[in-house]
Amino acid sequence: MPNTQWKRVKLGDLFDFKNGVNAEKSSYGTGTPFINVMDIFRSDILTQVDVRGKVEISNRILEENSAVYGDIFFNRTSETPGEIAFSSIYMGTEKITFGGFVIRARPITNKLTPAYGKYCFKPSSVRKELIRRGQGAVRGNIGQKDLEKVEIVLPTLEEQKRIITVLEVSDQYLNGLNRKLELSKRIRNKLTTQLVTGTIRLRDFSDAWQQKTIGDIARNSAKLNAGQDNYEVLSCTKHDGLVRSLEYFKRKVYGDDLAKYKLVPRNHFAYATNHIEEGSIGYQNLLDVGLVSPMYTIFKTTGVNDTFLYKLLKTPRMISEYKRHMTASVARRGGLRWVNFSKIKIALPSRVEQDAIADILSTLDQEIELLGKKQAIARQQRTYLIEKLVEGEIRIPENLKAPSREISYA
């Protein structure tokens, strides 16, 4: 537990609060960068390069509604009460502004080290108090007076700096994983497109690829109906490339409701007929049987490597082909029926080359999946450290060397 040097402090004693700018609709798009709700959701730290919106305002309004280094910003409204009052700290050097759905908290004392503001509103106890102070049963709102009443436990400045030192190490590790994962995905995606379209070839393969249609290597399985059992419900999504792209809703369907769904057996493909333009093709290989809504088309292949085909069907060129073959009669939106989908032309290498390409791409997917698991663990560890250190449940030795100057994010 925190010792007597840790003080419970109301936010109203630490900050002066102010709502942001509400301008005419025509004023947005150019002018001064301004912080909006989505910027807060995207990042704990904001600099001028992270702020995407712009608004035309006078110099007087900018002076009254500026965002300067060390200011904390809270979203004052959200779609649900549990998402109000998330916070970001502005660590930029350029004077910018902030939007009307945002509340600025400007420090009025020297009791809070600026970088500590990145962490001190994250613990669950603080989040619960912020949410409790909010209003609205459906859409959440919180005002300046509500924020002023919220209390946090504040350590000494020296201990704040020690906490920052530890948490910055955690952040740097997580940021490194994030960059590595993003780079790995970009490399995987580019290599996938090149390999499955024949733009580059594997060593020892030079045979010409054969031109076929999807109908030549696949059959429609639309007649499959659910039996009298319970099954997981599946959904095709824009997945990051893993073959397991039919994701599970966390529910099952029983009894008479089964008649509303189609069966997707193991090793079958499915695509959402009414929004195929988004590349929503999935391959079911995790469950023996799953369910999809009637708006999905289901098919089974023969004579091809399904991993290779799945990767091919997700490429940008194929998505363009889906759009070209769509009709406008499915649920009043563009849709792709099997009769048109099956006519789409594809180029296929030999089965041996398909298998070799699929093995490489599966290995890349496994590496990315492993990085994703490491990222998830690092996020959990960061959350744990913030919770315990900011609440004072874990104390840092006083001989830990704190940074001699404020960390710069600009």
Q: What is the dihedral of CA 37, 38, 39, 42, to 10 degrees?
A: 130
Distance CA 290, CA 293 (A): 11
Nearest to 304 by CA among 283, 287, 279: 283
pLDDT digit string (tens) for 288-302? 777 777 788 889 999
Q: Given this chain, do its domains 7-154 and 210-348 carry the same CATH topology?
A: yes
Distance CA 40, CA 55 (A): 17
On the CB side of 31, CA atoms within 13 Å amount to 18
Overall average pLDDT of the 306-326 stretch: 90
E-state strands within 182-280: 210-213, 218-220, 231-236, 246-253, 262-265, 268-272
218 contacts 299 by C-beta, under 8 angstroms: yes
Overall average pLDDT of the 134-149 stretch: 85
Domain boundaries, the chain: 7-154, 210-348
Fold of 210-348: Adenine-n6-DNA-methyltransferase TaqI; Chain A, domain 2 (3.90.220)
275 contacts 232 by C-beta, under 8 angstroms: no
pLDDT at 326: 83
Distance CA 14, CA 107 (A): 6
Lowest mean pLDDT among 5-9, 59-63, 272-276, 277-281: 277-281
Nearest to 253 by CA among 291, 224, 298, 225: 291
Lowest mean pLDDT among 45-59, 69-83, 225-239, 315-329: 225-239
pLDDT at 242: 31
For tokens 């007649």, the residue is: 223
pLDDT at position 240 over 50: no
CA 317 to chain CA mean position, Å: 25
Distance CA 44, CA 89 (A): 6
SS3 20: coil
Region at 136 (left for phi over 0; alpha for psi -120 to 50; beta for the rest):
left
Overall average pLDDT of the 335-360 stretch: 94
pLDDT at 230: 63
DSSP line for 122-181: -SHHHHHHHHHH-B-SSSEE--HHHHHH-EEEE--HHHHHHHHHHHHHHHHHHHHHHHHH
59 contacts 23 by C-beta, under 8 angstroms: no
36 contacts 101 by C-beta, under 8 angstroms: yes
Q: How confident is the model at residue 139 (pLDDT cuts 50, 70, 90)?
A: confident
Which 8-state DSSP code applies to residue 404? S
Query: Is the four-CA dihedral 353, 355, 358, 359 of positive or negative sign?
Result: negative
The CATH homologous superfamily to which domain 7-154 belongs is DNA methylase specificity domains (3.90.220.20)
Q: What percent of the chain shows pLDDT beyond 90?
A: 64
pLDDT at 118: 94
Over the range 308-323, which residues count as b (16 or more CB within 10 Å of their CB) and which as e? bbbbbbbbeebbebbe
Lowest mean pLDDT among 353-367, 375-389, 392-406: 392-406
Q: How confident is the model at residue 194 (pLDDT cuts 50, 70, 90)?
A: very high
On the CB side of 307, CA atoms within 13 Å amount to 21
pLDDT at 409: 45
